[in-house]
A and B are shown apart, each in its own frame.
Chain A
Amino acid sequence: MTAPEADRANRALAALCVDPAGLVGMVIRARPGPVRQAYDDALAALPLPLRRIHPGLDDARLFGGLNVAASLAAGRMVRDPGLSETPSALVLPMAERTPPGLTARLSQLLDAPSGHTLILLDEGADPDEAAPPALADRLAFHLDLSGLRAAEAQPRIPAPADLDHARAALGRIVLPPEAIAALTVAAARFGIDSLRAPLLALRCARALAALDRDTEITDDHLREAAELVYASRATHLPEDPTDTPEDDRPEPQEDRSGEAGESGDTAPPEDMLIEAVTACLPAGLLSAQDKTRTRHAAGGSGAGQRRKGNRRGRPLPSSPGRPDGRARIDVIATLRAAAPWQILRRKTRPDAPRLILYPSDIRLRRFEDRSDRLVIFAVDASGSAAMARMAEAKGAVEILLAEAYARRDQVAVLAFRREGADLLLPPTRSLVQAKRRLHALPGGGGTPLAAGLRAAVEIALHARRGGLSPTLALLTDGRANIALDGSPGRAAAQADAQATAALWRGLSLPALVIDTANRPGPDSATLAGWLGARHLALPRADARRIGAAIAG
């Protein structure tokens, strides 16, 4: 990434400073470091108090709640004001970890005309990790600073006087009649479905015009606004290739600025907008988009094992106990327990402070969480399997998927063939997608069983860290002939498969091996032994039995 990215970042910051509530906020994607720090510091120019929040933020902090200490001292209800009450700039680091509950709360906060602005600091390392799309969609700007060098990161914010002037002028900016249509058409051409994007682009153009001390939004402003708002949201390139001549891309900005300056009445600037946005589409953006779409959204708790703990989940009734540094005290329950005794206790200790608490009053929080089950389908798509019973295997997986749907499990689908394994579908609840990916799965090549197993282990480990209970459903004939390093050879392949299967066994997670060979042989049974898995031969024309096997 080069200096233009830094320029765009500066412009976006300046626009946000002019109209923080209207533009709602921005996503800054970068790992912590001097670059991010520079932009983080520059946020001080926002005309709102900065408040840092974190993904574990609770409702009391956000919307206000009872201040227990002050309530006790005053003898009446004292409320703490929440962050939502005064307009402020909320800065959320580790935005990629935002749980759905907080996402929904923040969305509500931003939808209400409360004057808040939200800065998401997205530290995601993988393309899979990103700020929640529901929030990102509401924010005008998405800056990806991960490619920026520290020397280039020099946020420049206009002088406060200029910002004040721009803010005052914002309401008087004249909107040329074709601007709305131009921005909307441009958004549609890039496959941006959400109607928030053109709205935000329009507001952005206003802010930019105000910054430049213009009284009217010019084509330049529209172009810049489209660049800033659309580039990160585009889901496909415009269909009409004549609009985006390849050799024009490097420098459409100079070309157009001169032209637009001379003739303000050029025809609808849609094409121009499209060129401008195309020019700043980062490479690999479309694949990233695809991934964020399939990213699983953590939902409610599911059918996995129950876990009792004192950290998260569904609250259980609090229990008496002593705080040991790990458990959290349930203040409210403690006070509830103490409240009825106050009059009696006061009689014995008339000089005591307002509230008389005994250790026996203390209640600890307990939670119960049911983790989601994740069924990992590892499908052997090698030549031998494809020849034999690929279609039946697909049918079997579909039945399993329907079972998974009924149990509200999450599913992941991976296929192995040729030299390696492909993750067709990262863990998700969207079964339609699973089915679609499976349908498109081609067959052929060797059987890299070890690679498939290793991929399954990786997914399982990752899922377990995320609080899921993984299960493996492996559909194969068990005849490995490609080793982990991609070299052919039955002996090496079998040895690798055995070693990787031991890895899975070490996780002590359930697994099921379904033999898809034409004539079920001993190989898959051996494999099941290595995995510590149940073994099942794919029955002829009775794929439903498999469904029963995994559900049981």
Chain B
Amino acid sequence: MTAPFPFSAIVGQDQMKRAMILTAIDPGLGGVLVFGDRGTGKSTAVRALAALLPPITVVAGCPVNSAQVQDIPDWASVTDTALAEKPTPVVDLPLGVTEDRVTGALDIERALTQGEKAFEPGLLARANRGYLYIDEVNLLEDHIVDLLLDVAQSGINTVEREGLSIRHPARFVLVGSGNPEEGELRPQLLDRFGLSVEVRSPDNIEERVEVIRRRDAFENDHACFMTHWQAEDARLRDRILAARTALKHTATPEEILTDCARLSMALGTDGLRGELTLLRAARALAALEQAGEVTRDHLRQAAPLALSHRLRRDPLDEAGSGARVARVVAETLP
């Protein structure tokens, strides 16, 4: 039972699955925030995503997963410079993690045994070119959030501590999940997530029964279940790879740009990041569907994902912002 639950076998939760697939197509989208109740498959989906993602090519011994030998940071003494394939890293950032573990710190073993000052890379190094997953992101300690905000923005981790002065690339897709009942998320961190999804337990019985049935099959008829769904996963992986290629050739008509701007203005989103993300998400969606160019339909589908968490919202507004986005989309894009 070491293989995670297959991604395609997750019942329903289409928005969440779509958002995750979009980040796999265009990692520049800036991550996904999944908010929802307990037991709705948030963690399952993230762990399944790891198995779904296509492998990346890295320098075998490099601590930051560099793609080429010349990208290896100078502090890393890499002996094995052969190129190797490895699964896309999906790194868990547990709550209560210390700053040392996140950014990296002095290598104690080397310091003790050889009396040398060397850098031991942290979680951010391991997550480079992959995913950084934070469960219960709304409960994360503030000082860790501050660290992440900076790194997620710049894509570079800078360590100045214990006489070390280190920089290394840390470009990762931030995936956060949490339960809004347990605490709010700081607006600054909210803004760093490209897409946001709200999940809830399926409310029709058939869907719920199907969830239990598949899970039961996963646990008790493992081999058969995995054979079937891994084939599905493989098909999805091929689609993602095809979409990555198609992304470069997906055209963006001028009127779509205008639509993006109009939507964001109508919703009053802060800054321009909303429009940019909306455009990128719509383009990734078009690439996934091999549509050739972005259409209004893609915009309509991408808008709730890209915009609903960026509204300058009334913190006491009880109606979800998703509804507001849907209304404005219907008004602006007839």
Contacts and interface: CB of A to CB of B under 8 A. Distances in A.
Interface of A: 22, 59, 66, 71-72, 75-77, 99-105, 107-108, 111, 113, 133-134, 137, 171, 175, 180-181, 183-185, 187-188, 193-199, 202-203, 293, 297-302, 314-315, 332, 335-336, 339-340, 342-343, 370, 398, 401-402, 405-406, 408, 429-432, 435-436
Contacts of B1: 113
Given A184-B208, A432-B316, A194 B138 contact: no
Nearest to A429: B183
Contacts of A71: 109, 112
B209 A429 contact: no
| Ranked 8 nearest A-B pairs via Cβ | A101-B96, A194-B39, A297-B182, A104-B95, A405-B315, A299-B183, A113-B1, A300-B141
Contact of B2 (A104, A113, A175, A401): A113
A203 B94 CA distance: 29
Interface residues of B, number: 56
B72 to A, nearest CB: 24
B135 interface: yes
B114 to A, nearest CB: 9
Nearest to B316: A435
Q: Which of A71, A297, A340 has the most chain B CB within a 10 Å cutoff? A: A297
Nearest to B215: A199
Contact of B316 (A100, A113, A299, A398): A398
Given A199-B212, A297-B181, 11 more contacts: A59-B96, A102-B96, A105-B96, A108-B92, A134-B38, A134-B136, A180-B216, A199-B216, A314-B143, A402-B314, A430-B184
B205 A188 contact: yes
A301 B142 contact: yes
B74 interface: no
Contacts, number: 157
A322 B30 CA distance: 47
B289 interface: no
A243 to B, nearest CB: 15
Q: Interface residues of A: mostly helix, strand, loop or mixed? A: helix
A435 B94 CA distance: 32
Given A185-B205, A300-B145, A335-B108, A431 B318 contact: no
Contact of B139 (A184, A300, A315, A336): A300
B211 interface: yes
A183 B212 contact: yes
Contacts of A183: 212
A101 B98 CA distance: 11
Nearest to A58: B96
A408 B92 contact: no
23 contacts: A77-B113, A99-B96, A100-B136, A100-B139, A102-B96, A134-B136, A183-B212, A185-B205, A194-B40, A195-B201, A198-B208, A199-B212, A299-B138, A299-B182, A314-B143, A315-B98, A339-B115, A402-B314, A405-B315, A406-B315, A430-B183, A431-B316, A432-B318
Given A105-B95, A301-B141, A195 B108 contact: no
A462 to B, nearest CB: 19
Nearest to A113: B1
B99 interface: yes
A406 B184 CA distance: 10
A435 B318 contact: yes
